[in-house]
Amino acid sequence: MTNRNRIGLTWISFFSYALTGALVIVTGMVLGDIANYFQLPVSEMSNTFTFLNTGILVAVFLNAWLMEIVPLKRQLIFGFVLMVLAVLGLMTSHSLSVFSLCMFVLGVVSGITMSIGTFLITHLYEGRQRGSRLLFTDSFFSMAGTIFPVIAGMLLARHLPWYWVYVCIGVIYLAIFVLTLSVEFPVLGKKQHNAQPVAKEKWGVGVLLLSIAALCYILGQLGFISWVPEYATKTMGMDISAAGQLVGNFWTSYMIGMWVFSFVLRFFDLQRILMVLAALATLLMYWFVSSSEPDMLKWIIIALGFFSSAIYTTIITLGSQQTRVSSPKLVNFILTCGTVGTMLTFVVTGPIVAKGGAHAALFTANGLYAVVFVMCLLLGFVTKHRQFGHADH
């Protein structure tokens, strides 16, 4: 593989995470406007975003097999066509059914690109490099989380229709499409089937613990960040731009944290530092939901973003190191579990908000972070990452 090709594929991975991040993270910003547009309560409107999250889940789950049947380049080109159709659907239709369908399609497109992006990084890089590259790739998710709430806030403040936010997000896929046309992708299928005996290696209890941690972490994180604007405006009396700034602060420090930890993680045992970070994140989130001082929220959420930034990618990296040879299906399985957390975000938090308000949803997210800590603690007794040669030493 040429260096130019490797760089092109790596940038496709970066943009694939940015696309998913932008789609998922702007939900909290546009939710109120879309609820007004369809004249529905916010808690009820939030349920329609389950279609977006379900689309991501379905695509990530199926693509573990589809990647061996449908060439990666063809999938990404088809994804671009679907993206254009979905955004046009959002712009031209006033039907809630069409809105839900377009959200599902956007989710499918996002899930396909993210699973391909994750596979490309685990395929192109080994050992120590894989962990830091995955972390850097995931930082594009949070980079989108930094940029797009600000873009959404600017568009909504100028009273532009909410669907222009999704037009802006579509520009990310345009970049993926242009790169896709100019690079060659790894060929799966026959080569992959030759490696089938290795793939049958037992995954072990560690993979189960990491999968539960991935699900609870993503559900907790998105359950928290999706309702921060609602909590900040309704409970803490902040205006919408200040609430958007809180979300932006979280993702900015999250992104900086990923860059820092992509260097720092090389010097620590992954399971131990994962346990420490999960404990810190749980305590910081508890401080946020318990604080009665609006001025403190900014600083707490910055610290929370920084210390929780490496958790999800470290979970995926540790998962890839639970077998002697990293299996794309194993990585996809943990990614799927994380995506189940994405899908359940509003299924779980919507009814909680309807009954107890946004504050109750934030406390639920805090409890899920505590579960992540427990899973990381138990992992210490069963992890296999220290005994295999491709683990980071």
At residue 332 the predicted structure's pLDDT band, cuts being 50, 70 and 90, is confident
Q: In this predicted model, which residue has the larger pLDDT, 337 or 201?
A: 337
Tokens linked to 299 = 């600083």
CB atoms within 10 A of CB 324: 13
- Type of residue at 214: A
Task: Calculate the average pLDDT of the chain.
Answer: 85
Tally of CA atoms within 13 A in the half-sphere of 301 that contains its CB: 25
Domain range 3-183+201-382, CATH architecture: Up-down Bundle (1.20)
Specify the range with the lowest mean pLDDT, choosing from 23-27, 255-259, 382-386.
382-386
User: What pLDDT digit, counting tens, does each position of 169-201 carry?
Assistant: 999 999 999 999 999 888 765 544 444 444 466
At residue 282 the predicted structure's pLDDT band, cuts being 50, 70 and 90, is very high
**Mean pLDDT value of segment 351-380:** 93
Can you tell me the distance from the alpha carbon of 49 to that of 102, in angstroms, rounded to the nearest whole number? 10
Can you tell me the distance from the alpha carbon of 206 to that of 156, in angstroms, rounded to the nearest whole number? 45
The reported pLDDT for the residue numbered 386 is 67
Can you tell me the distance from the alpha carbon of 98 to that of 352, in angstroms, rounded to the nearest whole number? 27
At residue 393 the predicted structure's pLDDT band, cuts being 50, 70 and 90, is very low
Assess contact for 313 and 138: CB atoms under 8 A.
yes
Most confident of 10-24, 38-52, 145-159: 10-24
How is the chain split into domains, by residue range? 3-183+201-382
Angle (CA) 127 342 292, round 5°: 105
C-alpha closest to that of 145 among 247, 229, 51, 64? 247
Distance from the first to the final alpha carbon of the chain: 27
Helices 328-382 & 205-234 angle (0-180, nearest 10): 90
User: What pLDDT digit, counting tens, does each position of 53-74 carry?
Assistant: 889 888 888 887 788 788 889 9
